[in-house]
């Protein structure tokens, strides 16, 4: 059976995350239902990561084995037709080596978290950013984020129900930039690592927000990391500002 890789974009608002569920809408369920219209015998898809309820993606990657050797362009077009009107799109499709694995072959995952600080209600991007009605100070957040870069025990910044075998991860990048945005300021948090713990990104962003708001001194973030205690974490940021933007592999499956 030929194996195909898919790059998938979705608005996570109407879904209970990526992973298929029997009684709740999921992104995986939507894509697999579309795929079943083309190949009823197709086995379940495998994705690079399981995004949570309400989390968006611009660059999720998944693979599936199909009975028919489709032209990748026509396969993507057919899937996008059957996905309508769900807010999910196949933005790239490629036939891959049968050994390619969307999850285990990934060498890097990148996330973006968008925070919009402004008093006026968010209308055009409702559900796509975390809106705050107070200002944030960029420099203290940037200073605090430096303590998180590198290989650490991230127990403080993972969900209590996280199923990862170890809390030790290597965070390669945490950068924060500020941009003018329609009557306010948008802060973009970019995080990059081979893999992440459950709720790690949202926990980090929520904690750094406390620094930007002036509620925490910058050095408290490093102290929270060293504490290896979930109680030392700041509030967990809501899911609507989070995007899985890219998954990287030793060789780009989409060329």
**Of 63, 87, 105, which residue constitutes the final position of a domain?**
105
**Of 105, 121, 140, which residue constitutes the final position of a domain?**
105
Has residue 254 been placed in a domain? Answer: no
Based on the fold, state whether residues 112 and 202 are members of the same structural domain. yes
Burial class (CB in 10 A: 0-12, 13-18, 19+), 57: buried
Based on the fold, state whether residues 92 and 153 are members of the same structural domain. no
Based on the fold, state whether residues 172 and 133 are members of the same structural domain. yes
Q: What is the separation, in whole angstroms, between the first and last Cα of the chain? A: 21
Based on the fold, state whether residues 80 and 134 are members of the same structural domain. no
Instruction: For the chain, 255 residues long, give each residue's pLDDT as a single digit of tens.
Output: 899 999 999 999 999 999 998 899 999 999 999 999 999 988 899 999 999 999 999 999 999 999 999 999 999 999 999 999 999 999 999 999 999 999 999 999 999 999 999 999 999 999 999 999 999 999 999 999 999 999 999 999 999 889 899 999 999 999 999 999 989 999 999 999 999 999 999 999 999 999 999 999 999 999 999 999 999 999 999 999 999 999 999 999 999
Structural domains in the chain (count): 2
Based on the fold, state whether residues 66 and 79 are members of the same structural domain. yes
Based on the fold, state whether residues 90 and 198 are members of the same structural domain. no
Based on the fold, state whether residues 128 and 90 are members of the same structural domain. no
Based on the fold, state whether residues 65 and 165 are members of the same structural domain. no
Based on the fold, state whether residues 80 and 165 are members of the same structural domain. no
Are 253 and 100 contacting, i.e. CB atoms less than 8 angstroms apart? Answer: yes
C-alpha 74/C-alpha 13 separation (Å) is: 28
Q: Which pTM value belongs to this model?
A: 0.96
Has residue 255 been placed in a domain? Answer: no
| Catalytic machinery residues | 52
Based on the fold, state whether residues 206 and 116 are members of the same structural domain. yes
**What CATH number does residue 163 fall under?**
3.30.70.660
Per DSSP, the chain holds a count of helices (H) and strands (E) of 5, 10
**What CATH number does residue 100 fall under?**
3.30.70.580
pLDDT on residue 17:
96
Based on the fold, state whether residues 179 and 138 are members of the same structural domain. yes
C-alpha 133/C-alpha 189 separation (Å) is: 18
Q: Which range of residues forms the domain containing residue 61?
A: 3-105
Has residue 253 been placed in a domain? Answer: no
DSSP-derived secondary structure for 121-145:
PP-TTTTTSEEESS---HHHHHHHH
**Of 58, 80, 105, which residue constitutes the final position of a domain?**
105
């Amino acid at each position: 059976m030929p194996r195909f890789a898919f790059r998938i974009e979705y608005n996570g608002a109407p879904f209970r995350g990526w992973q298929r569920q029997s009684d709740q809408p999921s992104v995986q369920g939507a894509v697999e239902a579309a795929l079943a219209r083309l190949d009823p015998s197709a086995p379940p898809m495998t994705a690079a990561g399981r995004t949570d309820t309400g989390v968006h993606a611009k660059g999720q990657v998944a693979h599936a084995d199909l009975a028919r050797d489709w032209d990748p362009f026509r396969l993507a077009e057919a899937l996008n037709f059957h996905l309508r009107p769900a807010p999910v799109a196949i933005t790239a499709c490629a036939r891959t080596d049968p050994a390619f694995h969307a999850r285990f072959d990934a060498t890097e995952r990148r996330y973006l978290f968008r925070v919009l600080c402004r008093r006026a209600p968010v209308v055009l991007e409702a559900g796509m950013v975390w809106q705050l009605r107070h200002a944030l100070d960029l420099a203290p957040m940037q200073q605090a984020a430096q303590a998180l870069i590198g290989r650490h025990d991230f127990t403080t910044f993972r969900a209590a129900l996280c199923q990862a075998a170890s809390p030790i991860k290597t965070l390669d990048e945490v950068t924060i930039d500020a941009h003018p945005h329609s009557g306010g300021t948008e802060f973009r948090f970019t995080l990059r690592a081979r893999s992440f713990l459950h709720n790690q990104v949202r926990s980090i962003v929520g904690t750094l927000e406390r620094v930007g708001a002036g509620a925490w001194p910058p050095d408290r973030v490093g102290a929270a990391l060293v504490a290896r205690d979930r109680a030392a974490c700041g509030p967990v940021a809501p899911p609507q500002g989070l995007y899985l933007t890219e998954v990287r592999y030793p060789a780009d499956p989409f060329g």
